[in-house]
Amino acid sequence: MAHRYPSIVVAGHICVDIIPAWTQTVESISAVFRPGRLTEVGPAMVSTGGAVSNTGIALHRLGVPVRLMGKIGPDLFGRAILDVVRSYDEALTEGMIVDPNADSSYTLVINPPGVDRIFLHCPGANNTFSAEDVDLEKVRGAKIFHFGYPPIMRRMYLDEGAELAALLREVRSLGMTTSLDMAQPDPNSEAGRIDWRKLLVRVLPHVDIFAPSLDETIYMLDRPLFDAIQQAEAPHIPDLALLHRLAEQLLDMGAAVVALKLGDLGLYLRTTDDVSRMAAAGAAFSPLPAGWIGRELLTPCFVADLAGTTGSGDCTVAGLLTSLLYGRTAEEAILDATAVGAASVESPDATSGVPTWEAVQARRAAGWPKHPLRINAGGWRPDATHQVWRSPRDARWEEGV
């Protein structure tokens, strides 16, 4: 059940996804979008999306006391979002923000067999989300405040992230650990044209845990490399020097922990070697769990029966935050994160594959296998189980396996 006093608050982007079923194959998407044509489809699946829904509900399924803070309007789509959230637990709706003057965010997913998907997205209330929308009395006492998807929340990315920085600064003043996840901005949109490096310089001093995807990070810090990767025919497999360089920049900007989500390649974790910075990282690091200073770790994904990857990155973050909440080591946290992410892909939707925390640990203890590491880890050293690799720069390198 949900709890009145949460351990983790998840705020930010939420929307409703409307996905019509297709009863026929089409030759091209232009055949569907022909003026005057009526195309028959099947029943629509309605689900929620966004960091608030995906990470928040994953935490709830893991058994973590959580509060969801997404912004919606008093309309049909807003009621649909509340109905989906309520289906997990009535109390999960208590932190939701209903703005009488806003329209709820929705996405129409046009996904006919045989052609690439098209998304028709209305950002709605997400674009007006502001620091004032967060009732500090509803977050007070939580250990972790997680915010998701500022690149698709207009108020959060304008003015080099001034509103986002103000929100995170205010939350940190209450003693909470702050966590931030990103989303890929549309390169042709307003968000795609802003200077993301300047935004990160402004925001990351107020972020304790930064958990973007590798692609998002490259887009924001090295646009020429991002464009080259997009134009390449072969899938991009990063080298460890790139991961180290990107994480170095993010730590220098002010983050204490950087977790780069690598998709089906796994998860990379690097932490500050500044003891005073980690000591200032809020309630989740007080007292400081063992083995979090000066770490650089890499792990591949756990083997899973793939049904769908929607929300897997959000669920990976949920696993990481839960592990930290329970005071586990950096090695355990990177394994817990990838375990929850792997469990999530065994269901076609974002969160129904996520089991209880106890079930995740039982599966790991039973010998849940990992995929082979596909990144060239020359010079790095695996642990005894070959599940976590340590960098020669890692603070615990001398401890061996």
- Closest among 40, 49, 39 to 18, alpha carbons compared: 49
Q: Is 361 among the domain residues? A: yes
Q: Is 299 helix (H, G, I), strand (E, B) or coil?
A: strand
What DSSP state is assigned to residue 133? G
Rounded Cα distance between 73 and 224, Å, is: 39
Produce one character per residue of 189-223: b if its CB has 16 or more CB atoms within 10 Å, e if not: eebeebebeebbbbbbebbbbbbbbbbbbbbbbbe
Structural domain including 280 reads 8-14+52-82+91-103+126-399
Rounded Cα distance between 323 and 185, Å, is: 29
Q: Is 171 among the domain residues? A: yes
* Weakly modelled stretches of the chain, pLDDT under 70: 1-4, 116, 400-401
Rounded Cα distance between 5 and 140, Å, is: 9
- End-to-end CA, the chain: 40
Query: Letter for the amino acid at 249?
Result: Q
Q: pTM (2 decimals)? A: 0.94
Q: Is 23 among the domain residues? A: no
* pLDDT at residue number 4: 60
Task: Please enumerate in sequence order all residues whose Cβ is within 8 A of that of 178, keeping only pairs 6 or more positions apart, or say none.
Answer: 144, 145, 146, 147, 168, 171, 172, 206, 207, 208, 209, 282
Count the neighbouring beta carbons within 10 Å of the beta carbon of residue 154: 17
Q: Is 65 among the domain residues? A: yes
Domain count, the chain: 1
* pLDDT at residue number 401: 53
Q: Is 60 among the domain residues? A: yes
* pLDDT at residue number 190: 95
Cβ neighbourhood burial of 313 (10 Å; 0-12, 13-18, 19+): buried
Q: Is 21 among the domain residues? A: no
Q: Is 374 among the domain residues? A: yes
Residue with tokens 């004032």: 132
* pLDDT at residue number 2: 47
